[in-house]
Structure 1
């Protein structure tokens, strides 16, 4: 049997104490990390969850929009970019296309559609008026015109309070990239008697002149 001298015994004691200390510290660490969240932590987590929910886009809901078909189009009056007050009833006796769009922030898709409407004489030939509706302010829409001057040749109404967009249910459709705040790319055809005859929410945001003219042919 090997007998340890005093020096060896001293080192063994120190090593044992170190091992015990490591075990104790590890136990304390495990206990501290497994504690339930404090009230402050819970409040922070709840706040973060609430903020995340706040920034989630609203769920798409087409109930109001779908309910328009076959009914009298709700009347409205809005200011145009050039300062006129335009009412839907002013166009009774003509077919009307309402094009709800995201306006300034929808470059180039919505802008291209607005310009395409203005350049297409086929709509005038079919006694059809195109009304473009955006929720932009006048100053914001001016920025769009400055970038694409052809936009100024078209009738654009400013629904800054979103009253008409809400009335027609176009703020929460699939095409809106900012659902609840902006329309997307949405068409409504109203016949000469003021009845909604066609609706389309176009998430592809294409130019739809041909399709719309085909629908007007059927009126």
Structure 2
């Protein structure tokens, strides 16, 4: 083949330098392209959903860790086997003073128990039947409570005193239950940091105040993730015996 014919064969068909028009795609080719595009979109959707799920799990974990820090630090199961923490004010701290309306009528103050050991039981209230079962169980184990060095038990919740009185009558309970509708006392003891209703209600907290007005033991059982709203009185007394300070 001559050089002139070789050169001629490499020249574009269009002498103006324009590219020849693309050949039209067949229906089969268009379908393949559509399927490839749909597959790519699905892959990116799956990736995006996976990333969001991972971020959500990480976020929940951080919130949980933060709430654990606010609730008093490391949890323990103690001798009872029931998970709990000791919030603040804690052992060795002066118990905040209070005066609240009682379900039995009149008002009750912490100062009324000066010289005695009083067990404060903060609980969720009318909507929490296990909380009232807890009071009933404490009353049924009164001898064991006394043997543990507890002179009196007083419960505190956030419902109105008249409704508490009706509930006490229905349940045939005699333990004084005090009304803290503004949560002023609950917040002073940070007992509203351990419930299922956020900070709107108390959780399930026991605080033993000694004869000198100092906190000798504290156990907050109502926090996440278990949200314990009842434990047998004997189990609570087991933790008290192991964890209280003289």
| Cα offsets for 1:57-82 (capped at 9, x unmatched) | 99453389334320111111001012
CA-CA distance at 1:128 after TM superposition: 1.2
Partner of residue 84, structure 1: 106
TM-score for the superposition, normalised by structure 2: 0.57
5+ residue gaps, structure 1, are 1-55
Aligned residues: 183
d(CA) in 2 for partners of 1:113, 1:191? 22
Distance 1:62 1:140 in 2: 32
* Aligned: 1:158 with 2:187: no
CA distance in 1, matches of 2:89, 2:176: 26
Report the TM-score, using the length of structure 1 for normalisation.
0.63
**Cα offset for 1:105?**
1.1
Contact 2:217 2:240 in 1 (8 A): no
Q: Residues 72 and 207 from structure 1, CA distance in 2 versus in 1: closer, same or farther, beyond 3 angstroms? A: same
3-state SS in 2 of match to 1:90 = helix
Could you tell me how far 1:217 is from its partner in structure 2?
8.5
Partner secondary structure for residue 66 of structure 1: coil
Deviations 1:12-37 (A, max 9, x none): xxxxxxxxxxxxxxxxxxxxxxxxxx
The answer for unaligned runs of 5 or more in structure 2 is 1-62, 74-85, 222-227
Q: Aligned residue for 1:130?
A: 153
What displacement does 1:103 show?
1.5
What does residue 87 of structure 2 align with? 65
How far is 1:112 from its partner?
1.5
Aligned-CA RMSD value: 4.0
Secondary structure of residue in 2 paired with 1:182: coil
